[in-house]
Amino acid sequence: MLVCPFSGRPDMRRLALLLLLLACAHANAATLHVSSLDSQADAPLGVHVSGMRPTELVELRLAMKDAKGIIWRSSAVYRADLDGMVDPAITAAEAGSYMGIDQTGLFWSMQPEGPPRPLPFPIQRRPGDLRFSPAEFTLDVVSGGRVVDTVKLRRWIDGKDVCAFPVTSDGLVANVYAPQGALVDGRRHPTVITLGGSEGGIESANMYAAWLASHGFVAMSVAYYRMPGLPKDLVRVPIDPVSMGVTWLQDQSYVDPSGIGVLGGSWGGTIAMAAASHDPRLRAVVSFVGSPAPFRGIQRDVAPADFRAVNKPGLTFKGKDLPFLPYREDASWLDEKEAEIQSTLKAALLPIEKINGPLMLVAAGDDRLGLSGEMAAVAQRYLARHAHGTHDQIMYFSDAGHLISPLWQPTTHRHDLGPHLQVGGTPEGYARADRESGAAVIEFLRSALGNTR
């Protein structure tokens, strides 16, 4: 019940009522707008808030639950422009979990409300399915100290319009991801083979493949170790499954046989370069933090870190060992004055000048695990001397570490994999690399293999 102290004077009653209505209007005027409640995990949200007074402060809060059930949260305070609008893509955060203008800020700055080393990426495969469940977020608008608007968001790797199935072929552990209808539309589509890193298995390759399929490519995830029938350790692992994948794909009516590329992350990036150096049917290569010179092999299931480097070749091709780069304390592989170091490097380099198409390297300047920034410079210098071509690209992110991803996700704990595994990078550095690398890779592959639109 409203008690008006000016009940005796009609003009004062009207004034009091007007003030009350204005207060209620301002308290409820902030309205949240989102271009799509279902969107790809590498796409801008298209969020803005309207209906505020000029220069009024408003807070956005984002929350999600990760694969371990831990809640992550972020928040930022913005000041409305002269039209009473806030758009995180162009409006600076003045306080909160990040500062400045950054449309990915609410994603990468999320912090967990749980134990250390949480699992930041909430997207998992659907039970009994090769496709992925979406990550679910809650976005709140807070004005005057209370929540005035809320939306539920879903972020997909592959979206609703991607199909997936396992490949049945001797010696090949693989899955195919494709845009809905691509298998039966009578067209031949550009196709990318995807490879995961030294963690082994096929899940990382599946994520890459699902992501590419959401952008119109046919993609085949290929496992090379730590799957049934494949090596347990990353020692003398055959790269031949990549070429086997090419052969299988070229027999499919929906694949453009002259438009097949390969993409890999970490050791998968190295294997991508190795495979394309020996197989001219691969017409484009993308390496996320891989090395043009393979490092030593890795023995697994060894305490305390699970990984132990061994002085044995990591890779083979057609039964023959590929060279590898031995460990050198404080070696600078770019120092041309050190003849011994350059001789060692030359012996280990893959013949990447033989790649039958452009090469894209996504590299990190603070990569403490794979030295991808330094090794990208080695590759650039080597390719220039061999006049490989003008379409090679390097994306270098000085403050990123070894775990660059093409998807928008929290980066605040990505550098922390425990005391035995140093990957480097800062939250802001990873955020920039994630934001910029994915779109650039898609554009590179479309240019090299054919447009998917």
Domain of 198: which CATH number?
3.40.50.1820
- Six token digits for residue 123: 């997207």
Judgement on whether residues 96 and 230 belong to the same structural domain of the protein: no
Total domains present in the chain? 2
Judgement on whether residues 128 and 166 belong to the same structural domain of the protein: no
Contacts of 84 (CB under 8 A, 6+ apart): 29, 50, 51, 52, 53, 54, 56
- Six token digits for residue 434: 């994630």
Q: How many residues does the chain have?
A: 453
Q: What is the tens place of the pLDDT at every residue in 319-338?
A: 999 999 988 767 788 887 78
Pure H helices in 177-288:
203-214, 240-250, 267-278
Judgement on whether residues 128 and 185 belong to the same structural domain of the protein: no
Catalytic residue among 256, 279, 367, 392: 367
* Residue 133 known to be catalytic: no
In a domain, 25, yes or no: no
Judgement on whether residues 302 and 258 belong to the same structural domain of the protein: yes
User: Count of H helices and E strands in the chain?
Assistant: 8, 22
* Residue 402 known to be catalytic: yes
In a domain, 403, yes or no: yes
CA angle 404, 155, 66 (to 5 degrees): 70
In a domain, 85, yes or no: yes
* Residue 266 known to be catalytic: yes
With b meaning 16 or more CB within 10 Å and e meaning fewer, what string describes 347-365?
A: ebbbebbebebbbbbbbbb
In a domain, 24, yes or no: no
Predicted confidence band of residue 47 (pLDDT cuts 50, 70, 90): very high
Catalytic residue among 189, 388, 402, 415: 402
Judgement on whether residues 170 and 40 belong to the same structural domain of the protein: no
| pTM of this structure | 0.91
Please give the Cα distance from 186 to 183 (Å, whole number): 8
In a domain, 16, yes or no: no
Omega of the bond leading into 304 within 30 degrees of 0 (cis)? yes
What is the domain-level CATH number for residue 109? 2.60.40.2240
In a domain, 191, yes or no: yes
In a domain, 369, yes or no: yes
In a domain, 249, yes or no: yes
CB 43 within 8 A of CB 84: no
Judgement on whether residues 206 and 296 belong to the same structural domain of the protein: yes
Catalytic residue among 198, 221, 266, 291: 266
Q: What is the tens place of the pLDDT at every residue in 224-271?
A: 999 999 999 999 999 999 999 999 999 999 999 999 999 999 999 999
- Write down which residue in 139, 156, 173 finishes a domain: 156
User: What are phi and psi for residue 211, nearest 5 degrees?
Assistant: -60, -45
Residue 204, pLDDT above cutoff 80: yes
Judgement on whether residues 130 and 265 belong to the same structural domain of the protein: no
CB 269 within 8 A of CB 337: no
Find the domain containing 437 and state its range. 162-449
- Write down which residue in 156, 185, 217 finishes a domain: 156
- Write down which residue in 134, 156, 178 finishes a domain: 156
